[in-house]
């Protein structure tokens, strides 16, 4: 049972800005109503510019949260685009290795990079939700499907299985205080979709936001990111990927099919498609480029035997489940379920 959550801003410092104060207040109350004590780490609320300019202090917040015994869970405030800048402060002198614990760590989007950091040091993590994006939902409560998985995680410290949502939501375009209590527009959903390959496959899941993963190899967003990721060997070796399931979901940037093709090509060049047991694809936000992305995957991977399952309710499209990394998973599309052995 999770009793004490630490909130960290490892990417963007958005939660420290006045324009989201009403959202943050909603989130704090919801966590308190769950019976949870909430601690914002020292620099989490410093604001966008401060957090951007101080990666060492972001790293210090994470290490402190890992080292405080009373903290059960570390919840990322939101994503962003430069959490890779924490690498020297977490790996130069084995700082993260020395701080590894069995605490729950939850985040998504740019937090993908943090998940790879934890994978490197052998710590299991959970992918799929964040404080501002999910706990602080402006409607009268968290989205029901999203809340179900969040409650399971804070109640049990794990996730046993994931099934599809029967609806999906359009993304908000306005997060102002006048939107409090206003529901999102919803649409019916059709479940997990087998694009190709065997409907049943197993392995530990690893991956995240394809935008962030592409930045491992491409310096267009941050010229030094591929250099740092290579220096600290952040992307796992091909051998480490053997038997794993690759998770990919796309961000609110809604990358063009042309860029998506480049991102999938970058992954193909690592050789991981030769050794993984399958691929899970998150539903794109608002369903944008859904069919185009599927075609890219089939064309680039060019291996009809590799299972690819699309329309998983994970990542930037709402609602969001939570997927454990580092535990055995069995994907069974015939029965529309992903089961985890913890």
Q: Tens digit of pLDDT for each residue in 250-282?
A: 999 999 999 999 999 999 999 999 999 999 999
d(CA 67, CA 74): 11
d(CA 202, CA 31): 34
Q: Is residue 177 pLDDT above 90, yes or no?
A: yes
Which residues pair with residue 7 across a beta bridge? 40, 75
Write down the H helix ranges in the chain. Answer: 21-33, 48-53, 55-67, 87-91, 95-99, 112-120, 144-156, 210-214, 225-231, 238-241, 257-269, 290-301
Q: Is residue 181 pLDDT above 90, yes or no?
A: yes
Looking at residue 53, what is its pLDDT?
Answer: 98
Q: 146 pLDDT band (50/70/90 cuts)?
A: very high
Mean pLDDT of 206-231: 97
Q: Is residue 115 pLDDT above 90, yes or no?
A: yes
Please report, for the chain, the start and end positions of each structural domain, with discontinuous segments joined by +: 4-162, 174-341
Predicted model pTM: 0.98
Looking at residue 342, what is its pLDDT?
Answer: 75
Q: Is residue 204 pLDDT above 80, yes or no?
A: yes
Looking at residue 184, what is its pLDDT?
Answer: 97
d(CA 55, CA 90): 10
Q: Using CA of residue 27, residue 28, residue 29, residue 32, what is the dihedral sign?
A: positive
Q: Is residue 189 pLDDT above 80, yes or no?
A: yes
What mean pLDDT, rounded, does the chain reach? 98
Looking at residue 119, what is its pLDDT?
Answer: 98
Mean pLDDT of 125-154: 98
Looking at residue 273, what is its pLDDT?
Answer: 98
d(CA 111, CA 118): 11
Q: 71 pLDDT band (50/70/90 cuts)?
A: very high
CATH architecture observed for domain 4-162: 3-Layer(aba) Sandwich (3.40)
For the chain, helix (H) and strand (E) counts, in that order, are 12, 16
SS3 204: strand
Looking at residue 167, what is its pLDDT?
Answer: 98
Q: Which tokens hold the place of 219?
A: 């310096």
Q: What one-character DSSP code corresponds to residue 109?
A: G
Q: Is residue 96 pLDDT above 80, yes or no?
A: yes
Domain 174-341 top-level CATH class: alpha beta
Mean pLDDT of 28-47: 98
């Amino acid at each position: 049972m999770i009793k004490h959550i630490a909130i960290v801003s490892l990417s963007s410092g958005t939660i420290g800005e006045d324009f989201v104060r009403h959202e943050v207040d909603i989130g704090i109350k919801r966590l308190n109503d769950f019976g949870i004590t909430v601690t914002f780490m020292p620099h989490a609320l410093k604001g966008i510019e401060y957090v951007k300019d101080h990666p060492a202090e972001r790293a210090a917040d994470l290490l402190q949260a890992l080292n405080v015994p009373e903290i059960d869970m570390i919840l990322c405030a939101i994503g962003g685009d430069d959490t890779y800048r924490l690498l020297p402060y977490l790996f130069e002198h084995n700082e993260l290795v020395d701080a590894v614990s069995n605490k729950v760590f939850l985040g998504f989007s740019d937090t993908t990079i943090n998940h790879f950091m934890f994978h490197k040091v052998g710590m299991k993590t959970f992918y799929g939700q964040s404080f501002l994006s999910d706990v602080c939902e402006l409607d009268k409560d968290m989205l029901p499907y999203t809340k179900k998985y969040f409650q399971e995680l804070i109640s049990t410290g794990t996730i046993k299985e994931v099934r599809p949502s029967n609806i999906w939501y359009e993304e908000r375009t306005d997060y102002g205080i006048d939107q409090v209590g206003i529901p999102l527009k919803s649409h019916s959903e059709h479940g997990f979709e087998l694009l190709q390959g065997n409907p049943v496959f197993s392995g530990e899941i690893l991956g995240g936001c394809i935008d962030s993963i592409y930045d491992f190899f491409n310096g267009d967003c941050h010229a030094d990111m591929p250099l740092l990721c290579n220096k600290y060997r952040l992307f796992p070796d091909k051998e480490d990927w053997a038997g794993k399931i690759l998770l990919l979901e796309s961000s609110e940037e809604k990358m063009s099919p042309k860029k998506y093709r480049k991102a999938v090509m970058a992954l193909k060049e690592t050789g991981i498609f030769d050794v993984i047991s399958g691929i899970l694809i998150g539903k794109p936000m608002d369903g944008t480029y859904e069919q185009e992305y599927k075609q890219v995957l089939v064309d680039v991977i060019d291996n009809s035997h590799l299972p690819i399952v699309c329309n998983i309710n994970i990542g930037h499209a709402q609602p969001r489940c939570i997927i454990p990394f580092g535990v055995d998973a069995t994907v069974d599309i015939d029965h529309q379920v992903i089961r985890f052995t913890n």
